[in-house]
Chains A and B, each alone.
Chain A
Amino acid sequence: MSNPEVVDARGTRCPVPVVRVARAARSLAPGEVVVLLADDEAARSDVPAWARMRGHGLTVEDDGTWTRYTVRVAGTTSDGSGEARST
């Protein structure tokens, strides 16, 4: 958690940001975190909708002209939170 993977998708447009964060999340273990930076307007709807469909945890923070999406990958974690979910 101290050094989460960061996907910088600033300057790319729909559906690239959500595709890139999905690809990054694919290789992570349940409970691990990936951060997406994006400035595409469609990502504001699409990243939360994707996280909801996949069961990932998500926090969204505006950071100037872009948005920071912190995704916690779904599945059973060491502390027991979350649920196992196949993708």
Chain B
Amino acid sequence: MKTLLHPTWVGHAGGYRSGVAHGTFDSPRGDPSTDTPRGVLDAAPGPLHPAAGQTLAAASRVSWADPVRLHAPGRRSRALLDTARAVLAEALEVRPEDLSVHPTAEDALAVGLDGLRHARRRVGQRVVASAVERSVVLLRGDVEDPVPVGPTGRVDVASFTAQVAEPGVAAAVSQTANGEVGTHQPVLDLARAAADAGVPLLVDATASLGRDPLPGVGDVVVADAAAFGGPPLGLLAVRPGTRWGLPGPRREAEHGRALATPWVPSVLAAAEAWRQGTASHRTDAERARVLVSRVRTAAAAVRDVEVVGDPDARLPHVVTFSVLLADGEVLVEELARRGLAVGSGSACTSSALRPSHVLAAMGVLTHGNVRVTLPLESVCPDREEDVDRLCAVLAEVVAAVRERLGTADL
């Protein structure tokens, strides 16, 4: 497929051989930029789409300038940023002028929420959000009494509906799906409840864009380019007609929403990842769904392993399970020794030594947790092989970890 940048620009960047990144990460087979990543079962974030990587390298040479500058390189950056924004706006199903780009998804969520709250400060300050929303939402929104979720992590619609109808609510938040356990949220029902109460809704699509179709609701929509093979980059769409505004003096960049213009090569790489993947997202999701089902079956077959999250209404590429009386950190290590990179929501694997608030809210085991986030097949062509390898070694790994911990007979 054609890339966003002119081919001569991309070719120009291809001769990179002696920089900082060369050598250290060199693999035995040679050029690290062409080797396919293996054993990636923790694509949150995952490796860049190869075309996005090429565009990033080339763009760093041609769009390094600040796009507000009036010289030729500045104008070129401006033109390329406009191109990239148009592509990403299409991804979020909004107009380019409604989309701003932010350094991270967390930043985009915080800014999106701040703007809704500030615009409704006369109504109230309260934010309604479920207990399984991302930490940044719960903290930034000062959510003291989160909406409960069921054992699969699905938001309780009746509680949400009751909470948004209370006085003093500035905004409501719902994720499309939970990125840790995969469960889809009833976002259409929640959007209807918020609209009936006259409360604006922020839809957090950071885990799902590129994997699932957007639900088409939400006054504000936030996504993450890392979810579809781009670099981590926050995308914030505010639909026309939404009451939205930030406190303080007007910010200079990104339609008044950001303190600084994003680094254009990063935005181009995100747009490239979207363009490359957009034709194959549906088939990729169908294939990922089959692979995740294999992992669910293999995990459920091991004694005292609980697969968590909704078995059907879920993201195609995410699966989480917890191993009773095993240690999350050791499970991750044992799988890593076998060349498989997985995530974990267990306390012992987090820097804060606190278990995943998502698993805790669902009332499931937080120890012995393993989280698989599949990369796109176009990013990791060996994805299926890696999944099958995980399924093949899982029982033996669990047994080894329980043996080490002395819990095999409990």
Contacts and interface: CB of A to CB of B under 8 A. Distances in A.
Interface in B388-410: 405-407, 409-410
A26 B325 CA distance: 13
Contacts of A15: 325-328, 348, 367-368, 405
Interface in A6-25: 13-15, 18-19, 22-23
B217 interface: no
Interface in B354-375: 354-355, 359-360, 363-368
Interface range on chain A (Cβ under 8 Å from partner): 10 to 19
From A18, A22, A26, A44, residue with most partner B Cβ within 10 Å: A18
Interface residues of B, number: 27
B36 to A, nearest CB: 36
B324 A50 contact: yes
A13 B355 contact: no
B366 A14 contact: yes
Contacts, number: 68
Contacts of B326: 15
Given A22-B325, A46-B367, A13 B410 contact: no
A44 B367 CA distance: 11
A57 B339 CA distance: 40
Contact of B365 (A19, A23, A41, A50): A50
Interface string A37-64: 0001110111011100100000000000
From DSSP, what is the main secondary structure of chain B's interface residues? loop
Contacts of A50: 324-325, 365
A55 to B, nearest CB: 12
A11 B127 CA distance: 35
B59 to A, nearest CB: 44
From DSSP, what is the main secondary structure of chain A's interface residues? helix
Contacts of B360: 44-45
B325 A41 contact: no
A45 B366 contact: yes
A49 B365 contact: yes
B363 A49 contact: yes
Nearest to B349: A14
Contacts of A53: 304, 306, 324, 365
Contacts of B346: 14, 42
A87 interface: yes
Contacts of B324: 50, 53
A8 B380 CA distance: 47
B151 to A, nearest CB: 10
A19 B355 contact: no
A42 B368 CA distance: 11
Interface of B: 304, 306, 322, 324-328, 346-348, 353-355, 359-360, 363-368, 405-407, 409-410
Given A14-B367, A44-B360, A46-B365, 7 more contacts: A13-B347, A15-B325, A18-B325, A41-B347, A42-B367, A49-B306, A53-B306
Interface of A: 13-15, 18-19, 22-23, 26, 40-42, 44-46, 48-50, 53, 87
10 contacts: A13-B348, A13-B353, A15-B367, A15-B405, A19-B405, A23-B410, A40-B347, A42-B346, A50-B325, A53-B324
